[in-house]
Structure 1
Amino acid sequence: MPVAATLHTWTHSAPSFLAAFLASLVEFVEALTIVLAVGIVRGWRPALVGTAAGTVILAAMIVLLGPLLGQIRIEILQLVVGFLLLLFGMRWLRKAILRAAGIIPLHDEIAAFSSEVIQLRSAGPMAAIMLDPIAVGTTFKAVVLEGTEVVFIVLAVGAAGNTLIPGSVGAAAAGVLVIALGIVLHRPLSRVPENAIKFAVGILISGFGIFWVGEGLGFEWPGRDSALIPMFALLLTTSLVGAQLARRATVPSGANK
């Protein structure tokens, strides 16, 4: 394959893979925290059954909805998906900026784990014979709720940019990594730089949103997919400046307390 064609393929597929991988990493880490708490308190068998059931539902959503989105006129799909991705990405980015500025606290997986353990222990007795419905339901809900955002990102980015396979591979890779680390460490992944990852995901998804809105409106981006790179850089710079300004704005109020 010529170098130019290889570079184009990589430029086209890599952002989708990376966005899906990082978004999935964050969501799967949060789901793992709940699954570990359920397994330790209520038993591993029902915890794994609920996890497996939730995973099947998420996979079915991708398999069933992916081809359906492909039937929509590409310009309409790009415009709608672009607006949704932009709103979705800005929500992630806003929270990441506020956390970086110290305005809202960082997400603590150890604290979330402890809180989940307390709730599970107070949820009532475990089923003696059949699978514990509380354990199964808790892990199923956690996997489906956390994974739905992943499915949306994979489908939205993949359908609009014809990169469903790279996005799916990125999400699957993150899932395998988190599961493997959970099995090896047997504890919440508290050292994962979650806010930094959410920062990156917010930038990637927002960039995709801007790009697909422009495509849907018929705008010809200079360099086509390569235009995403300076777009990501601009979003990163703006976000870092915004976090710094927000941090400085909170210093006087904190100093007066």
Structure 2
Amino acid sequence: MISWATAAPAVTAAFLASLVEAVEALTIVLAVGTVRGWRPALTGTGAGLALLVLLVLALGPLLDRVPLHALQLVIGILLLLFGLRWLRKAILRSAGIIALHDETKAFAKEEASLRAAEGQHATQLDWIAGITAFKAVVLEGLEVVFIVIAVGAGRGLLVPAAMGAVAACLVVLLLGIIIHRPLARVPENLLKFGVGIMLSAFGVFWTGEGLGVDWPGQDLAIVAFVAVFLLVGLATVKLSVHKAAEVTP
């Protein structure tokens, strides 16, 4: 039986990562629904979710045929690269080197893009709106699928990780229905900082597992890696702020 101590890191990583991706997808779907109506928005969203489900169902049996150590090594390397990319962006945004992601601006940009096409035939515009929603759900959802598989594969944690992802999507969906506008107050950069740390920690752990490393404390080693990446991340933010201040006249 899987203990909570073992499942918690995977569930938390999947939940937080899915929360970020779901918020970004919701912004675009809301823009589509606002400009063109909810029929193309929901149609595109439903089609995107169906494709993601089929992808998960297709990948599940394939993963069972891959040798465990090879699977752990490949997923570990990819997860480490994925996590470091998130962490790098979060550090640069925290240091003020690049602008923070703004869901309100993203919504306005997508809304303006859709309104610019309003001179076209209504049927064609519905197709454009539906494809826009479909693309948003699929692109953001693919990252969720990858993260769920990455943190859950090889340890019997796919179901807990998937539950964390589904819970995040339901939370965002419920909030979207209630407030009916972009979730601009969600601390997205803070979430990405945390997710980047957790994914990087999982990446190091899985890479070591794939190489046959016997980690002290087994799964508890992930907590130690999280602490290391957190300290390094915070130190890098301070260093980046200091360097940016020196460059600024």
Whether 1:42 and 2:12 are equivalent positions in the alignment is no
Which residue number in structure 2 is paired with residue 24 of structure 1? 18
Structure 1 runs (4+) greater than 6 angstroms displaced? none
TM-score by length of structure 1 reads 0.93
Task: Show structure 1 runs of 5+ residues with no match.
Answer: none
Which residue of the other structure, out of 101, 113, 117, is the alignment partner of 1:123?
117
Name the CA shift for 1:94/1:129 in 2 (closer, same or farther; >3 Å): closer
Cα distance, 1:124 vs structure 2:
3.2
Name the CA shift for 1:191/1:115 in 2 (closer, same or farther; >3 Å): same
Cα distance, 1:41 vs structure 2:
0.4
Which residue number in structure 1 is paired with residue 106 of structure 2? 112
Which residue of the other structure, out of 187, 192, 206, is the alignment partner of 1:193?
187
Which residue number in structure 1 is paired with residue 205 of structure 2? 211
How many residues are matched?
249
Letter aligned with residue 137 of structure 2: V
TM-score by length of structure 2 reads 0.96
Contact 2:40 2:126 in 1 (8 A): yes
Which residue of the other structure, out of 123, 126, 132, is the alignment partner of 1:132?
126
Name the CA shift for 1:158/1:130 in 2 (closer, same or farther; >3 Å): same
Which residue number in structure 2 is paired with residue 165 of structure 1? 159
Cα distance, 1:110 vs structure 2:
0.4
What RMSD in Å do the two structures reach over aligned CA positions?
Answer: 1.4
1:103-135: CA deviation from partner (whole Å, max 9, x where unpaired):
111000001111111100002346546981011
Which residue of the other structure, out of 64, 71, 74, is the alignment partner of 1:77?
71
Q: Percent identity?
A: 57
Secondary structure of the residue aligned to 1:132 is: helix
Whether 1:174 and 2:168 are equivalent positions in the alignment is yes
Contact 2:118 2:125 in 1 (8 A): no
Which residue number in structure 2 is paired with residue 87 of structure 1? 81
Distance 1:85 1:130 in 2: 39
Contact 1:101 1:246 in 2 (8 A): yes
Task: Show structure 2 runs of 5+ residues with no match.
Answer: none
Contact 1:66 1:159 in 2 (8 A): no
